[in-house]
Amino acid sequence: MIPLVVRTVNALKMAVTSWRQENLTVALIPTMGALHEGHIALVKEGTRCANRVIVSIFVNPVQFESRDDLLRYPRQESEDIIKLVNIGTHLIFVPTEQVMYPTDFSTRVTVSGVADYLCGVCRPGHFSGVATIVTKLLLQSLPDVAIFGEKDYQQLQIIKRLITDLDIPVRVISVPTVRAEDGLALSSRNSYLSTDERRRAPALYQAICKMAAKIAAGTDFNAATAIARQQILDAGFNTIDYLVVCDSTTMSPLIEPCSKSLRVLVAAWLGQTRLIDNTPVSWFSSEEKE
Ligand code: AMP
């Protein structure tokens, strides 16, 4: 199936309206392009839970704190479109910046609480940019389901919060992180890594898995965090923005096990590249692996 490529909100709405007239259900998958197998997993999930699948591709300028980071972000629209052929995508929405943010655009969606920790501290304005674009995309397409990856775990919790708070009639479905064979979470930003950095990068996931296993086995949070921190630095990461155990819904960092559902989240720099990852604390597989 060759997807329809549309660039205006009107064309998007016309397609959705015609599907609605046929009683077809719709899934939306927001992306910033430079598509990889992680994105493709979201599309496949979309085909399982709706009759029609929309993938949006838009590098959202308002979620970047620095212009350099925005300009450096990979853009490969033609390759992305080819990747979406024959995998169940019906429509690709590729708006321009002017379509999404006309000159007189003046609104920001800001989520507090869940957005106040972790990346909310390290990247001021980032989550408000994400919340704004996701709200726009949801209202433009009014899908039955919207699909997001656990790779951006805090973002996922923020989106769930805003959908509940603003009574947006959409069901959120999350998809587990797709990883390379060596455990590195797939990310469009992995293309920034040098060969040497790419070889070192899987240490991030290894360290948080061991940390989660230690916590499940009863190790003190501080002790488990200190060990993981050292493992990450020993692997060659230069700075750790955060490495924390959080309540998996509120995202508030914890220093002791006062919540049943815990998640370890990390953001760290390998050279000029900031990598994020996360993993659940699974109480039922608490065997500590070294
Ligand atoms: P992005 O293009 O990076 O903004 O990501 C678009 C969507 O794909 C978000 O919901 C991400 O969480 C999701 N995503 C990115 N990388 C992965 C991955 N490795 N596995 C699963 N989902 C992912």
Which residue's CA is the closest to the ligand 1 atom numbered 18?
Answer: 38
Across the strands, what pairs with 275? 268
Please enumerate in sequence order all residues whose Cβ is within 8 A of that of 179, keeping only pairs 6 or more positions apart, or say none: 185, 186, 205
Ligand 1 centroid vs 114 CA: distance in angstroms? Answer: 19
36 among known catalytic residues: no
Pocket of ligand 1 (CB under 6 A): 31-32, 38-39, 41-42, 148-149, 151-152, 175, 177-178, 185-188
In ligand 1, which atom is closest to the CA atom of 41?
A: 21
Provide the residue-wise pLDDT of the chain in tens; the chain has 290 residues.
999 999 999 999 999 999 999 999 999 999 999 999 999 999 999 999 999 999 999 999 999 999 999 999 999 999 999 999 999 999 999 999 999 999 999 999 999 999 999 999 999 999 999 999 999 999 999 999 999 999 999 999 999 999 999 999 999 999 999 999 999 999 999 999 999 999 999 999 999 999 999 999 999 999 999 999 999 999 999 999 999 999 999 999 998 888 789 999 999 999 999 999 999 999 765 454 44
Measured in Å, how far apart are the chain's first and last C-alpha atoms?
47
Q: Which of 28, 35, 42 is the pocket-test mutation for ligand 1 (most atoms within 8 Å of CB)?
A: 42
Beta bridge partners of 173: 147
- Tell me the best of 28, 29, 31, 130 to mutate to test the pocket of ligand 1, counting ligand atoms within 8 Å of each CB and taking the most: 31
The dihedral through the CA atoms of 176, 177, 180, 184 has a sign that is negative
